[in-house]
Structure 1
Amino acid sequence: MQCLRATLCRRATRHLFASKPLARDFTIAIDGPAASGKSSTARAVALELGFGYIDSGSIYRCATLLALRHDITDISAGAPDLIDLINKASVDIKFQPQSTRSAPNLITGRLPVPDVRILLNDEDVSEEIRKPDVNRLVAKVASDGGVRSAVLGIQRALARAAETRSKSVVGKEGVSSVPGGVVMDGRDIGTTIFPNAELKIYLDASAMARAIRRWDEMNSSLKRAKPPAVPATAENTPAEYPSVEDIARELEERDYADINRQHSPLRIAKDAIVIDNTSMTFEQQVYSIADLARDRMGLERKHDDL
């Protein structure tokens, strides 16, 4: 198990990260709109390559959960109380590569998706940060410049702590030892967090495909928490969970907010490779990204048959 921990304060964040982006052995930045499959894909790519993994979006969700728990709903004023809470918070990301949890039902890939548990101040909030109330507020929280500055420090600190073990690999010139790297997903990883990442991917999908994935994710989380008497369907989903159509509308609103926000808006980096996975299998998108990384590291490709 790999455990990444960041406990930050304003002063330490400014001292460590204000001057320049951190350099990694090999960094893969995966950006894209909400529910485009960034997280599951990034985890599987990290597993495939033996890299560390940082769930960037979960940090904003933790910030949103802090806002909800402290009744902070007015983010327009800069939310100094929320920023103070973020700076004092500890965030743990526990990446479990040996997990055999299946991929979301919408995508038919057979690859295991490593499990990731998110701890906020030592409390496992992995399910709570995916609930509808967090979904509805996270875009507003993430659009605040002060919040983004605080989270930026956490993101880079977690990447700094990511494990990058050397390993023996078969390259174009025989067997050699190469350092590891880190995979991070989000909305501004390739444009703001790691603008010098060795590989930048922009993962996209249609709004309806993303809505179905999000609906499936919500119901999978519900079943893990409390198995229902009958399988969940669109007709018997609990009232607190919205319909696929409602989710699609929420995602379109989130897209608009992410693209038009003042600070670090959602953009396709100039040197990013765009992958539309609406009609791709999970395996295809994971293996294609992994082989793109191998190409840039000078290693042998493994999945030219796809």
Structure 2
Amino acid sequence: MIGHEQHDIIIAIDGPAASGKSTTARRVAKKLGYTYIDTGAMYRSVTLKAFEHDMLERLKHSPEDVRILLDPLSIEFQGDRVLLDGRDVTAGIRENRVSREVSFISSLKPVRDRLKTLQQQMGEKRGVVMDGRDIGTVIFPDAELKIFLVADAAERARRRYAELVQKNGNPAALPSLDELEREIVQRDRDDAERAHAPLRKHEDAIEVDTSSLTIDEQVELVYSLAMERISAGTSRA
């Protein structure tokens, strides 16, 4: 485990939906003794809040009204728990309705601006692993290690399905693999084409195709790359 008296770095892990970002980032952070910041959970939290305030359709006609949801807005992480405005929404933000609409909410500039500020505040002391879609390009373009995870859509759909089965325990109530794959392909398109902070790989990012990798393998790969950066920085200190 890396102590904070050494050369702490920022690790930015970007990539499309279900490419393994969150699991990899969480486990790498644990191995390093770093803080893990799940930015996807932050956007999901705002999306859930839009549903709870019955504002989703309103926002599609008047997107500027999203400011109503942002003031006040508090998002905190307590271990694996996500707190939205002081209450636990860990399960709620993983509902499929949230997955379908989070790309739209993420495309709204006021949302991105507000969460960008929160994310930069969380990472300003370094020693963090942050995953999302624009961490290496917008939030922390100076991150010492930038990773861009990819995987084919069919494999990502299988992963998302397995995750939903594990959390819900009732396959009959879940969307089909084909439906999940269509949603993932559409999400990729929406993320890549949005006007604000679209999904793209930073020129300095290391691309890792996780289609045929186990989680353990991709965690070890990213951890090894991180150790190289940490060691290089410590030797220069």
SS at match of 1:36: coil
SS in 2 for 1:196: coil
> Does structure 1 residue 118 correspond to structure 2 residue 110?
no
Match of 1:58 among 36, 41, 46: 41
Matches within 5 A, 1:87-236: 87-95=71-79, 116-160=80-124, 181-223=127-169, 232=170, 236=171
Q: Is the 8 A contact 2:8 2:230 kept in 1?
A: no
> Residues of 2 paired with 1:138 and 1:33: CA distance?
13
Structure 1 residue 41 corresponds to structure 2 residue 20: no
Please point out which of 85, 95, 120 is paired with 2:69: 85
Q: Which residue of 2 aligns with 1:108?
A: none
Tell me the secondary structure at the aligned position of residue 30 of structure 1: strand
Given that 2:10 and 2:123 are in contact with CA atoms closer than 8 Å, whether structure 1 keeps it comes out as: no
Identity of aligned residues (%): 44
The one of 267, 270, 292 equivalent to 2:203 is: 270
SS of 1:28's equivalent in the other structure is strand
Q: How far apart are 1:77 and its partner, in Å? A: 5.1
Q: Which residue identity does 2:16 align to in structure 1?
A: P
Q: Give 1:122 deviation, angstroms.
A: 1.7
Instruction: Give TM-score, length-normalised by structure 1.
Output: 0.70
Alpha-carbon deviation of 1:285?
Answer: 0.7
| TM-score calculated relative to the size of structure 2 | 0.90
Rounded Cα–Cα distance in structure 2 between residues aligned with 1:65 and 1:250: 18
Distance 1:268 1:184 in 2: 15
User: Number of aligned pairs?
Assistant: 225
Please say if 1:283 is aligned against 2:216. yes
1:66 and 1:82 in contact (8 A); partners too = no
RMSD of the TM alignment (CA)?
1.7
CA offsets, 1:259-298, max 9 Å, x none? 0100000001000000001101212111111111111122
Larger of the two Rg values belongs to structure = 1
Supply the distance in 1 between the matched residues of 2:25 and 2:134 (Cα, whole angstroms): 15
Check conservation: 1:60, 1:141, Cα contact below 8 A. Answer: yes
Q: What is the rounded CA distance, in whole Å, between the counterparts of 2:63 and 2:225 in structure 1?
A: 41
The answer to whether the 8 Å contact 2:59/2:65 transfers is no
* Unpaired stretches in structure 1, ≥5 consecutive residues: 1-23, 96-115, 165-180, 224-231, 300-306
Which one scores higher on RCO, CA 8 angstroms, separation ≥ 6? Answer: 2
Specify the alignment match of 2:194 in structure 1: 261
Indicate the structure with greater helix content. 2
**Aligned-pair distance for 1:159?**
2.4
Q: Secondary structure at the match of 1:75?
A: helix
